[in-house]
Structure 1
Amino acid sequence: MKRREFALSIPAAAVLAGAPALAQARKDAVVLGMTLEPPGLDPTAGAASAIAEIVQYNILETLTKINADGSVTPLLAESWEVSPDLRTYTFRLRKGVKFSNGEPFNAQTVKFSFERAAAEKSTNKDKRTFAAMESVRPVDEHTVVIINKEPDPDFLFYMGQATAVIVEPKSADNNSAQPVGTGPYAMERWNKGSSVMLSASPSYRNPGAIKIKRATFRFISDPAAQVAAVLSGDIDAFVRVTPRGAAQFKANSRLQTIVSGSRAKTVLAINNAKKPLNDVRVRRAISAAIDRKAVIAGAGDGFGVPIGSHYVPGAAGYIDTTGINPYNPDKARALLKEAGITTPLELSLVLPPPPYARQGGEVIVAQLAKAGITAKVQNVEWAQWLANTYGGAHNYDLTIISHVEPFDLVNFTKPDYYWGYNNPKFNELFDKIKVTANVAERNKLLGEAQKILADDAALAWLYQPQWLTVANRRLNGLWKDMPIFVNDLAALSWS
């Protein structure tokens, strides 16, 4: 369960004498750059990965912690026991933990959090995980037993994701604007459209371990502005920065850059529920019209690895499916003709703000045109994409987006998910995957699942992103790899 993603550091300045050097040695603040501003700060209520990048492990904590190498270790749970059938998990909870509003953390708050996540009105994007819990039973203040309806080999990993954060009952409804958690930091200020500031929480259980006392997340979506902010020193670290500045970053002795893999999948999502996209021949034509390597060059400045299904190299059970729907404009035109499509076929292409979407969109529009498909571009803001494309009436034909969750094949079992894919054969196979504990057999089934999705051309898969991270060489402790998108502030320090 290893995953890759990113790292950072940066240069020692010239040695200065006296007070300035001492002040520099005691630096206890950091400014981090982010491409997107989250729509809210409650990861149990919204799907945007930018939420977790600010709050997970900083303000809000989980029972388990997912580390940079993908391993799972204790966090709010000190230890656990798992039954042989992989259904019952007994968690021993950390004692003496309080939320930042002074309320105690205990087994009852775990029960509240998970039952809230499973409730009928829950908007938690992993609601199924919590609805699959047969019971959440506090044994005493510091012991909770969770019994799942079915075995789940990845359950401990899921309990470390942002959707499984433990919330305080009295404040939970306000977490979107003012999150209250058990973590080392508390919310200080949110300047909408600009930045979020966190400061060390006075109620944290181990305050002496926190070297960074204040962290500011600045939102910079424009690629040129990202490069300028890093080079000027306004940003101490920018994770997943635009690759446009790679050459300039590498040439700057004050900076260190790291190129890492990911578990993300950048895709051209297809609305399977709309005509004529409900015809597999049309979806295969769209896939055949796309030159993945050209998209990587245009959208990611060359930082990416082609993929042919919803799985990436390095993940357990990965198989190479890029040969199932290879680039072939002639075949694309033939498939459209076979499907009875009169060209040019006009489709909407909704593009959210990230550079990979806007830049990649330009490449894909040109490629689709060569196959007889006219893509009408609609540039939208992030909140609009979440409300109208991902949510609501799924008002789109095509859209470019990067799915960052490590284990998200489950979304293809949801007919009401935004891409509207529905294949009973895949659902049956996925049910087997969920309950198969044997690693070799599970990996074999995962390979079969990837092939079904590729054969169905459920999406037009583009590439596995390679993230570029740049940071001040003196900043230590940022994750080298990243199975999930977090910025673990408590691990940071200045040298």
Structure 2
Amino acid sequence: MKHFRNAAFAVALGLFYSGHAKAAPDSDTLIVGLSADASSFDPANMDSRDNLNIAQHIFGTLYSIKADGSIEPNFATAYKVSQDGKEYTFTIKPGLTCEDGEALTAEDVAYSFNRAADPKNGFTGHAPGFLFPSIDFKSAEPVDDLNVKIKLGKKSGVVLGMISQVFIHCKDSYEKMTLDQAASKPVGSGSYKLVTWDHGSQIVLEKVKDPGVFKKIIFRIIPEASTRSAELIAGNVDIITNVAPDQIEAIDNSGTAAVQKVQGTRRIFVGFNFTDKFKGTKGIDAIKKPDVRRAMQYALDVPSICEQLLKFKCERAAGLVNPPNDNPDLKPYPYNPAQAEKLLDAAGYRRGADGVRFELKLQAPRGRYLNDANVALAIGQYLSDVGVKTDVELMEWASVYTPLYRDHAAGPMFLLGAGGATWSPLYDMALITTPKSETNFGEWNDPHWFKGWDAVDAAKTPEEERTAINGMLKAFYDDSPWLLLYFQPDFYGVSKRITWQARRDEFIDLFDAKLAQ
């Protein structure tokens, strides 16, 4: 299979060269090849990392998370916290503007937060769906032109990191727009503006102010990994994401580009859907039992999936938190199909005459994550091998799979990747803050987990907080709402025409990218 894929790539590359003359981008233009298109440019309604990576060049934020995990001022210059920890007052820089020339003041900052949180708008993006529930955001109000107060429902230790991802925009511009207009014609506050968006083809940004080296950034949508690699080797793009493992050697040997290999923070997992949407479907009663879910953990040979399909050696994840912030007492579930069979028998699900215990469907995206389709197929086979007959349904990411999982309607098993961080375990855990939170995609509802949040909030010392966190991670491990897989490695192809360094957290920060000397 490996030789077939490599041969297929070689043929594709040869055909590519036969029909395309090598043409480097203009010296003032940077071209990035992405695997998936954006779904929206409304600052409150984006949630995929590719989409957010483009948008962070269009919109500014109060603070920024740097590559080393530090959090530094961007639009803000300082902040004060109330004694009870529930109010943050931020001072912003004078002289800020949006791309249309409108002055950006504290009123616009408050509007950006409140607009995203307004239930009338029905937003499900990163801010309203994940960031705000994580800090229990209540409201924002301007104090004067340069100071804005953000009110929370509880004290939180991750406020700066969360608000650093809220996109700021100008009130007057957005009050004139419909939601459809805001989704396709953003008025930015950052270094670049959106010039054109040819759906499924390319997105073009032009620089309006510093920071930023290149005058133009073009994001080309290239779903096929082999085509992205061919375009990179030919010199037609400068950076590509999600390099296929079997194409790394060809890129490294091309003389025109090289692959940067980064241990990423994205958690790849198979989730279970506990909603009533699948009531009466095959296997749904079985997977609602924790002992069945734990049994299924033993059916998966995750290190082999990593080595054979992703071409890297991994240790299976033991939870949803990135090392070194995870619970050190928890060990990854080992691959032990005999144990899986024994536990499934004990749970009352013995093999029938046809060898099947029960049937399930696994839905998964194609082309969003590293070799995701083959990973899903391998998981389906491992589960089928222990008698859990698994039908794998592969789906297009942006227009089909994204709305499905956002609506908590993917499943009853679904493959997904959730972005993570190294600056706080609570950031990784904030994916599941309430049973109905937007990012609790299967609506898992374990009382031990949710009581743990009260203990975290009540902690008076870092040691008490850590004890509460470890207890929550143990509850997650035991109840197994996810089939735990791995933290995805990230392979970026980078042209030797430019100088740029990939980050662990999947943020594609292009402000400092420049032509190589």
Which category describes the TM-score, using the shorter chain as reference length? 0.7 to 0.9
1:469 corresponds in structure 2 to 492
Gaps of 5+ in 2: 1-23, 276-283, 422-426
SS in 2 for 1:367: helix
145, 152, 164: which one aligns with 2:156: 152
TM-score (norm 2): 0.83
SS in 1 for 2:432: helix
SS in 2 for 1:446: helix
Q: Is 1:400 matched up with 2:415?
A: yes
404, 409, 417: which one aligns with 2:429: 409
List, as ranges, runs of 4+ consecutive aligned residues in structure 1 with deviation greater than 6 Å: none
Q: 1:107 and 1:116 mapped to 2: Cα distance? A: 14
Q: Decide which moves more: 403-412 or 347-356.
A: 403-412
1:16 corresponds in structure 2 to none
Q: How does 1:3-42 map to 2 (within 5 A)?
A: 27-42=27-42
Q: Is 1:79 matched up with 2:42?
A: no
- 1:7-51 deviations in Å (ceiling 9; x for gaps): xxxxxxxxxxxxxxxxx9982111111111122223521322221
Q: Decide which moves more: 326-335 or 407-416.
A: 407-416
2:14 corresponds in structure 1 to none
CA RMSD, Structure 1 to Structure 2 (Å): 2.4
Evaluate the alpha carbon distance shift between residue 437 and residue 155 of structure 1 in structure 2; reply closer, same or farther with a 3 A threshold: farther
**Distance apart, 1:376 and its partner CA:** 0.6
Contact 1:66 1:160 in 2 (8 A): yes
Contact 1:226 1:242 in 2 (8 A): no
1:319 corresponds in structure 2 to 328
2:481 corresponds in structure 1 to 458
What letter corresponds to residue 257 of structure 2 in structure 1?
L
- 1:60-107 deviations in Å (ceiling 9; x for gaps): 111111111111111111222234543332211111111112222111
1:373 corresponds in structure 2 to 388
TM-score (norm 1): 0.87
Q: How does 1:234-249 map to 2 (within 5 A)?
A: 234-249=236-251
> How many residue pairs end up in the alignment?
460
SS in 2 for 1:431: helix
1:11 corresponds in structure 2 to none
SS in 2 for 1:489: coil
Higher relative contact order (CA 8 A, sep 6+): 1
Q: Is 1:136 matched up with 2:140?
A: yes
Evaluate the alpha carbon distance shift between residue 435 and residue 198 of structure 1 in structure 2; reply closer, same or farther with a 3 A threshold: farther
What letter corresponds to residue 155 of structure 2 in structure 1?
P
What letter corresponds to residue 153 of structure 2 in structure 1?
K
Contact 2:238 2:497 in 1 (8 A): no
**Distance apart, 1:263 and its partner CA:** 1.8
Contact 1:268 1:460 in 2 (8 A): yes
Contact 1:317 1:444 in 2 (8 A): no
172, 176, 181: which one aligns with 2:183: 176
What letter corresponds to residue 276 of structure 1 in structure 2?
A
- 1:255-304 deviations in Å (ceiling 9; x for gaps): 23321122210111122344221111221122111011122124422264
1:482 corresponds in structure 2 to 504
Contact 2:225 2:242 in 1 (8 A): no
SS in 2 for 1:122: coil
**Distance apart, 1:368 and its partner CA:** 1.0
What letter corresponds to residue 328 of structure 2 in structure 1?
I
Q: 1:26 and 1:439 mapped to 2: Cα distance? A: 52
SS in 2 for 1:262: strand
2:109 corresponds in structure 1 to 110
- 1:406-460 deviations in Å (ceiling 9; x for gaps): 3242333432332121011111112332454643433333222222111111100
Q: 2:415 and 2:292 mapped to 1: Cα distance? A: 18
Q: Decide which moves more: 231-240 or 92-101.
A: 231-240
Q: How does 1:88-127 map to 2 (within 5 A)?
A: 88-120=87-119, 121-127=122-128
2:19 corresponds in structure 1 to none
Q: 2:476 and 2:452 mapped to 1: Cα distance? A: 12
